[in-house]
Structure 1
């Protein structure tokens, strides 16, 4: 199989660390790889507000129609072409002890084998340290969310349940190469001004819930700091939607032009109503840690992008332009709107959120916008802050 891969991992001595390089020509639109995360979980507030997703793979548990009814607050709404919904409720299962819900028996079994066996009893007890830990996190991390402390709990459980715990521990540690000062700066940003107090509380509840003498370094303050930095800097956002999947499926149907126009109008009206009721919070949202994805460096002119084509946490990396053999495979850590902003603004966002000064080809060759520090977007942000 190794010879068929379109990429290879390399390590740069120039400060970039890990990177992925194309082993052959990769045409635009081609899949570079697909991978499941080492660990993933739904955001705490997202789950609290009844965005129902599989506790393992994050596939939605609501049908497209149920999802649309809830997000529009319209119990009378009815969708055509219900057979285009990908949710199969008859396959859903539930943990009898902690009531965690899954999209299939396969997901429940995989979760139990990887991490859930160690966490189940604690999740079923409201007074457990694990549930106290989640409350601490929720009370200091309000929407929009970027990560969930349960990722750390699942990481520790996966390490302890692994056939070779030390090897699994090293695999997670390979995500982060920051100095302790850089980690502290990032954790301060992640947790806010009370970061020291919150970090101590997180450390205390993690020790109470999951301490293992053989992995004692994980449970030191420094170990907690390292893992907080890990989930904050390397967590890839995951968003799933049964209604969104239904929309993609019905758009592929061969219909008479008049029916197609009516369907497009209905979809537009539903999305408008969803935005009125819920704003931009339309998806089951969470984050995951992906080994291959973590090797992809940032560029302001990326040649690849992340997609989630299967409606769950399985990540696919797709080429957005032709990639030559030997060329580095790069993604953008910025969204499309941020990529259109000035060089100074792009670099500021990356420095604040990822703690590096971007030196991609665009940033090193673009001199025209070097002093353009206040685009329309920047001014809008300033007005919102004021």
Structure 2
């Protein structure tokens, strides 16, 4: 039976206003302000009536030149990746020390901690009707390598690494920011600095913190929401961040308006002013297009005759998630945000526009450095480090993995012969999207990236791109089309 969300009926007028596409003028103003704020002076976002938004070069770019570093609007590390990588919850830089990164990873595994922070145990077969709804927006979901340690180390040695009592040779060559705890007191979010902790608290985390100082309505409901997301699809965590971001912006903007109008009658500013909600919703309104259950790609193991049932199940999954989130952080003045229609559009925005969040691991760099040492320094260093490398196995090189929405990068159109790509350079050690020129790009030329593996044959490329809702008509496809 189809679940009915009463907010969709009660707030239909507000929801319609929120989902109304912004005018071209508002879109242009938004991106011009964003580009100016981020000092990305070499590009411009333009709109045409055919492909929607696009990013164009405002100057000439040379091959391998940096085109753009784009700060995410919303992003999250995959829950399963948190065992392998301790990173800042706001900028996603690695934090602590080489010793802490290695010791923590191995120690958690000796305790039998699973990717979802529970004790590992044998699980029964899942219900046949539910097996295909788990994490289909990212099949790997940031999972660690399946290799396990064949040479477990004593827990005392691992604790000494984590506590800073034991130093590994040459680790000082790879300094990392100290760990800053969550201001709300939870043990899930950590930061590289006080400024990142405060920025995350003010932007997202104050409503989504499970610590004692959390501003959520119910920490118990919040824990249920997080558990449900971890067990089904971590895209819900991104949606929660987007809603929390909008609510917190709404409160901040409203407080500012009230201060400006403190000498006027209170009735001038209503308690649920739709114009304020529209103002704070603008960053999301620029990006959303379709509801999640309408745009999610049909998994390969689902027959076409089962498509309607699959999409209905995805909708039901979102409805269950939304009920947990509503109980945890509901705000009456922002009630339309908790409608299923809005929730579906937010998740759909991530489904269609997300970019993988990847930050290279300094642990991999450290072991490569040891391997490049010359004799006898290498022999002496490996005498100490080799047991840890053996215990880590293939997991020594696991990077920070997650998913994020980048407002400028999301405007870049696809081409099967792109002139740019998302590529992290050696110095790019945070969660920002980095776009590099693949070849010289002339001023006025559109900057394009590939959404897929462009080495696939023509028909396979078109089949994959159909999940994005379009058929590619780039120069290469026009030449290869039968």
User: If the length of structure 2 is used for normalisation, what is the TM-score?
Assistant: 0.62
For 1:269-302, what per-residue CA distance to the aligned partner results, in whole angstroms no more than 9, with x for missing partners?
Answer: 99996995549x8122112211111111111111
Look up the match of 1:151: 238
Cα distance in structure 2, aligned partners of 1:23 and 1:44:
39
Give matches, 1:44-59, under 5 Å.
Answer: 44-47=79-82, 49-59=83-93
CA gap 1:287/1:102 in 2 versus in 1, 3 angstroms: same
CA gap 1:127/1:19 in 2 versus in 1, 3 angstroms: same
Look up the match of 2:336: 217
Per the TM alignment, residue 327 of structure 1 is displaced from its structure 2 partner at its CA by 0.7
- Higher Cα Rg: structure 1 or 2? 2
Q: Which one of the candidate residues 74, 77, 93 is aligned to 1:39?
A: 74
Per the TM alignment, residue 51 of structure 1 is displaced from its structure 2 partner at its CA by 3.1
Cα distance in structure 1, aligned partners of 2:403 and 2:168:
30
SS at structure 2 position matched to 1:351? helix
Q: Which one of the candidate residues 322, 347, 360 is aligned to 2:462?
A: 347
Per the TM alignment, residue 127 of structure 1 is displaced from its structure 2 partner at its CA by 5.5
Give matches, 1:1-386, under 5 Å.
Answer: 2=36, 5-14=41-50, 16-47=51-82, 49-61=83-95, 63-67=97-101, 70=105, 73=149, 75=153, 80-89=169-178, 91-99=179-187, 100-120=189-209, 128-141=220-233, 147-162=234-249, 163-164=252-253, 165-178=277-290, 183-187=292-296, 189=298, 194-243=313-362, 246=365, 250=369, 277-278=394-395, 282-308=398-424, 309-334=427-452, 338-352=453-467, 354-367=468-481
Per the TM alignment, residue 10 of structure 1 is displaced from its structure 2 partner at its CA by 0.4
CA gap 1:276/1:356 in 2 versus in 1, 3 angstroms: farther
Residue pair 2:293, 2:314 contacting (<8 A) in 1 also: no
Per the TM alignment, residue 258 of structure 1 is displaced from its structure 2 partner at its CA by 7.3
CA gap 1:102/1:349 in 2 versus in 1, 3 angstroms: same
CA gap 1:111/1:21 in 2 versus in 1, 3 angstroms: same
Cα distance in structure 1, aligned partners of 2:40 and 2:239:
34
Per the TM alignment, residue 244 of structure 1 is displaced from its structure 2 partner at its CA by 5.8
Cα distance in structure 2, aligned partners of 1:151 and 1:249:
34
CA gap 1:112/1:340 in 2 versus in 1, 3 angstroms: same
Cα distance in structure 2, aligned partners of 1:193 and 1:271:
48
Residue correspondences, number: 347
Residue pair 1:245, 1:311 contacting (<8 A) in 2 also: no
Per the TM alignment, residue 228 of structure 1 is displaced from its structure 2 partner at its CA by 1.4
